[in-house]
């Protein structure tokens, strides 16, 4: 504690102000990073939901096809399919 008394009071005052400013800047930076992380996670969740929706539509479309239609469509994409 006696080391603090060796620093003049005016300099102590400036050091307190600089320390508070640095803490504020660091706090703002940290909160901004947390918000960005949540934003990225929300975007990823939206993409996952959209992909699940598309997959469900494809599955429903495949289930709606009868065997002949499914075979004809698959033959375009599979090697060695019936001609």
When divided into structural domains, the chain yields a total of 1
Residue 24 lies in a domain: no
Q: Are 82 and 74 in contact (CB under 8 A)?
A: no
pLDDT less than 70: residues of the chain: 1-2, 80-83
Residue 10 lies in a domain: no
Q: Are 62 and 70 in contact (CB under 8 A)?
A: yes
**Residue 55: how many CA atoms within 13 Å on its side-chain side?**
6
The Cα–Cα gap between 34 and 30 comes to: 6
Q: What is the pLDDT of residue 63?
A: 83
The Cα–Cα gap between 37 and 54 comes to: 26
Residue 69 lies in a domain: yes
Q: What is the pLDDT of residue 20?
A: 95
Residue % of the chain over a pLDDT of 90: 43
The Cα–Cα gap between 68 and 72 comes to: 6
Expressed as residue numbers, the domain containing 51 is 41-77
């Amino acid at each position: 504690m006696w080391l603090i008394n060796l620093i003049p009071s005016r300099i102590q005052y400036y050091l307190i102000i600089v320390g508070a400013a640095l803490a504020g800047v660091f706090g703002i930076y940290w909160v901004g990073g947390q918000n960005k992380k949540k934003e990225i996670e929300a975007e990823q969740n939206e993409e996952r939901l959209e992909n699940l929706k598309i997959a469900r539509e494809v599955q429903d479309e495949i289930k709606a096809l009868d065997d002949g239609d499914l075979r004809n469509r698959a033959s375009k994409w599979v090697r060695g399919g019936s001609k």
